[in-house]
Amino acid sequence: MRMLITGGAGFIGSHLVDRLSQDGHEVTVLDSFNDFYDPTIKRANLASSLDRIRLVEGSIRDAQLVDSLFTEGRFDCVCHLAARAGVRPSIADPGLYIDTNIDGTFKLLEAARKHGLRRFIFASSSSVYGVNTKVPFAEDDTLFRTISPYAATKLAGEQLCSNYAHLFGIEMACLRFFTVYGPRQRPDLAISKFTKRILEDTPIQRYGDGSTARDYTYIDDIIAGVTSVIELKDLEFDIFNLGGDRVVSLSELIEAIERAIGKKAIIENFPEQPGDVPLTNCDISKSQRILGYQPSTPIEIGVTNFVTWFKNQAKASQD
Q: For residue 304, is it within any domain?
A: no
Lowest-confidence pick of 52-66, 166-180, 203-217: 203-217
**Predicted TM-score of the model (pTM):** 0.95
Following DSSP, what letter does each residue of 210-259 receive, concatenated?
S--EE--EEHHHHHHHHHHHHT-SS-SEEEEEE--SS-EEHHHHHHHHHH
Question: Rounded CA gap, 262 and 264, in Å?
Answer: 7
- 275-300 pLDDT, tens digit each: 778 889 999 999 999 999 999 999 99
- 97-139 pLDDT, tens digit each: 999 999 999 999 999 999 999 999 999 999 999 988 899 999 9
Q: For residue 124, is it within any domain?
A: yes
Following DSSP, what letter does each residue of 144-165 receive, concatenated?
----SHHHHHHHHHHHHHHHHH
Q: For residue 175, is it within any domain?
A: yes
Q: For residue 207, is it within any domain?
A: no
Q: For residue 37, is it within any domain?
A: yes
Q: Indicate the angle between helix axes 190-199 and 299-318, nearest 10 degrees.
A: 60
Active-site choice (37, 97, 129, 150): 150
Rounded to an integer, the average pLDDT of 182-187 is 95
The CATH number of whichever domain residue 53 belongs to comes to 3.40.50.720
Measured between alpha carbons, how far apart are the two ends of the chain, in Å? Answer: 39
Q: For residue 252, is it within any domain?
A: no
Rounded to an integer, the average pLDDT of 179-206 is 95
Beta strands 248-249 and 213-214, pairing class? antiparallel
Task: Please give the order of strands across the beta sheet that includes 171-177.
Answer: 53-57, 26-31, 2-6, 77-80, 119-125, 171-177, 237-242
- 239-248 pLDDT, tens digit each: 999 999 789 9
| Angle (CA) 74 82 188, round 5° | 155
Domain with 128, as residue range(s), is 2-185+216-244+282-296
Chain centroid, CA 22 distance in Å: 20
Q: Indicate the angle between helix axes 11-22 and 219-230, nearest 10 degrees.
A: 60
Burial of 116 from C-beta contacts in 10 A (0-12 / 13-18 / 19+): exposed
- 197-227 pLDDT, tens digit each: 999 999 999 988 899 999 999 999 999 999 9
Q: Is 150 tagged catalytic?
A: yes
pLDDT score at 316: 77
Number of domains in the chain: 1
Q: For residue 30, is it within any domain?
A: yes
Q: For residue 42, is it within any domain?
A: yes
The DSSP bridge partners found for residue 172 are: 120, 237
